Chain A
């Protein structure tokens, strides 16, 4: 068990290092001269040289990388060019917003997907199964930005039920916050629900036809008890895996959703910083996104052992 843990963590560390390398080189490859962006249109050669010196842009690339990494590990990701605000502070302010959006989407997705998935697995090959499958397919295929626009048109402009956009912090106004988050969370959650629905259904079907379930049934345990005590726990494993993998999709999906619903979160920050060539911000933000993903998946992997002791022994294909 410890062996597995250590191995898993070591792998994550290496992955994080590779991520930092990719982020650093990636940002360096964006066309444009960072010194010029920082200097503005009135900067002359002397001014540019000053900026390069101040931000260490004149050092060789590997040195710049190590310097950046060193500072990053100490929690200093530099300053945004546009607002001169510390990157860490900007992120600390925006991340919770996207986390709330992601969390609500997850809640909505799980609330829809798990019951629907279990239901269609139990009522397999009936009309209900077909309908759930159809809904899930639609959820997978609908472009989220189109769905978002249609929802705004219907629920905000025509019916005035929900505010079109914006964000109010929950500690200021809980109800206002939730009202504004409902549509974007639904848009994000719909896609996620579609994926989870099918996964739940498939893994439930597999479990239900597994030997140890049949044994339990034959022993006379009531049907529902069997499902929820034995099948559920094991059926959750692939679902949890998918959740971990979907964190990335959630963050990405948040990009467009946050644009449309004007949620000042992480996704919007990424797009804006890339568009405005705010290099320190892009670096910091992308690094944090990717690292979060790695950490979430690490937690997912470690939680496997809680759900199914057989996996604790480690090994197996994929991932490691």
Chain B
């Protein structure tokens, strides 16, 4: 009996030794990228998530793309488009010799098919983006022409995103609305498999027109929502590239010196959206919410004045993000460098509250997305606003349901951001115009609409910038349905011997052209 006892223990010990002494695999030909969220459907027509766009960057290229300086350049198009007929006709020449990842050719017919699908398919989330387009024609096998109902200068920028991604008609015809289970587009890598909430695997495409750009045989995108675990994986070498390094970790990583930490200020913004007239749903008529926050601009101004944007950035983000008070990204040529953000003024805030009939303070609910970063953000705001007399209750909510609640008018205030678009129109129009598809606060001001509509029709940059400045002044100094607080910096970490990475302000990871030293 004693012998077998000892034997068992010895065996156990050996087993443990074997397991812990296992060799660390050197994954040179496969690059492992860790994302913080699982993308939704991998179908450019239906997709809605930012992380999905990262996957698309590798397997679904688009007509145009942007570089680090936010300049648009042709990717699947052969050149920049020709605009004629007062801006109402856009002619795009396509690159020749391009094949989808199933071998079928990408020609004008296929691109028209794809764009029509984005415009017309039931449930398409690209419809509002391509709304100004009335028809698409095939001019010749490598040229398409888009006809618009009115001039729309953000169009090319829109085609530098999902709306400009051609999909293989053969694959669509085979899979229908299950295209997302085996998507086929044009890309240096092609889709292999997906395990929901675990990984997405791409492998080097044999059909791509510029194969030298893909230095890895396989790309594995692993989904690791927990910041801590993602970081631990980076440190232990289980992943190569870490997406969205928490700002509080990035300083540490930089100090450590083992990894390259690339930070770029994004195209988007994060702020607090304050519901003003949405009572029963964003597609329903506006109603009176009956609260001082919704009805009295002095209360909103007081709230604005109770916040110290610089301090928020320091405390919540270790100074790693970019404080701001405008929806336009600092890196954009339309950014107003002369704009000064309101500083903190607790005394004035208290005065305003008193003038609004609330000398003893005011309580409301702020909904935040349930992740550690946003929780900290919420708590800092809560603490700051308390001194001015605001008693804020934080209500963490899961992202998708919070969006739904926001649409349905259930939220008083919502700390939410927008990942941002290249053209400033993409950051303002849908949110701030009467009837805008993402205007969940249901505010409506004809004069602001006029400014924003004019800005999307003309193409002169200086003139557009002036119009946006006026509009934003009215929004941030007047109705304050959105308090813009900061711009997210996309922080990426990877081993020092990974070369060729360029951080683009849209925050998308691009492995094309990247290789080991």
Contact = CB atoms under 8 A, between A and B. Distances in A.
A320 to B, nearest CB: 38
Interface in B8-33: 12, 16, 18-20, 22, 24-25
B16 to A, nearest CB: 8
Given A32-B404, A175-B18, A179-B19, A152 B232 contact: yes
Given A36-B408, A262-B224, A277 B196 contact: no
A165 B32 CA distance: 14
Interface string A104-116: 0000000100010
A83 B20 contact: no
Contact of B401 (A37, A83, A261): A37
A238 interface: no
A4 B378 CA distance: 59
B232 A156 contact: yes
A111 B16 CA distance: 13
B397 to A, nearest CB: 10
B395 to A, nearest CB: 12
B229 A264 contact: no
A64 interface: no
Given A37-B400, A164-B238, A276-B398, A42 B222 contact: no
A272 to B, nearest CB: 6
A176 B22 CA distance: 8
Contacts of A82: 38, 40-41, 196
Nearest to A47: B123
B41 A83 contact: yes
B196 A261 contact: no
Given A84-B178, A162-B20, A166-B222, A40 B48 contact: yes
Contacts of B462: none
B229 A167 contact: no
Interface in B357-402: 370, 398, 400-401
B95 interface: no
A123 to B, nearest CB: 14
B273 to A, nearest CB: 13
Contact of A165 (B12, B224, B400): B224
B197 A111 contact: no
A165 B123 CA distance: 37
Contacts of A219: none
A209 B462 CA distance: 94
Given A36-B408, A262-B226, A157 B236 contact: yes
A165 B283 contact: no
Is the contact region of chain A dominated by helix, strand, or loop, or is it mixed? helix
A84 B178 CA distance: 8
B233 interface: yes
Nearest to A38: B123
B181 A84 contact: yes
Nearest to A36: B404
A219 to B, nearest CB: 20
B197 A164 contact: no
B403 interface: yes
B79 interface: no
A216 interface: no
Contacts of B370: 275
Contacts of B232: 152, 156-157, 164-165
B196 A85 contact: yes
A160 B236 contact: yes
Interface residues of B, number: 47
Interface in A258-312: 259-262, 264, 268-269, 272, 275-277
Contact of B226 (A156, A167, A259): A259
Interface string A239-263: 0000000000000000000011110
Contacts, number: 114
Contacts of B22: 175-176, 179
B197 A268 contact: yes
B135 interface: no
A268 B232 CA distance: 19
A218 to B, nearest CB: 22
Contacts of A115: 5
Contact of A264 (B19, B197, B407, B437): B197
Contacts of B438: 41
A289 B237 CA distance: 34
Contacts of A7: none
B136 interface: no
Interface in A146-165: 149, 152, 156-157, 160-165
A268 B16 CA distance: 26
B463 interface: no
B238 A269 contact: no
A197 to B, nearest CB: 17
Interface in B100-134: 123, 125, 127-128
A90 interface: yes
Contacts of A160: 24, 236
A178 interface: yes
A33 B404 CA distance: 9
Contacts of B1: 224, 228
Contacts of B127: 42
B236 A163 contact: yes
A85 B42 CA distance: 13
A269 B19 contact: no
Contacts of B233: 163-166, 262
A45 B283 contact: yes
A77 B481 CA distance: 43
Interface in A63-121: 80, 82-85, 90, 93, 111, 115
A206 interface: no
A58 interface: no
A90 B196 contact: yes
Given A84-B181, A277-B400, A164 B195 contact: no
B4 to A, nearest CB: 11
Contacts of A90: 196
17 contacts: A37-B401, A41-B404, A42-B127, A47-B123, A84-B41, A85-B181, A152-B229, A156-B235, A165-B224, A165-B238, A176-B22, A182-B16, A182-B20, A259-B226, A264-B197, A264-B198, A276-B398
Interface of A: 32-33, 36-37, 39-42, 44-45, 47, 80, 82-85, 90, 93, 111, 115, 149, 152, 156-157, 160-167, 175-176, 178-179, 182, 224, 228, 259-262, 264, 268-269, 272, 275-277
Given A41-B407, A156-B232, A165-B232, 17 more contacts: A32-B404, A37-B401, A41-B404, A42-B128, A47-B123, A82-B196, A84-B178, A93-B195, A115-B5, A152-B232, A156-B236, A157-B236, A160-B236, A164-B232, A164-B236, A264-B195, A275-B370
Instruction: For the complex of A and B, list the 9 residue pairs with the smallest distance between their C-beta atoms, beginning with the closest.
Output: A264-B198, A164-B232, A275-B398, A161-B20, A83-B196, A163-B238, A156-B236, A164-B236, A164-B233
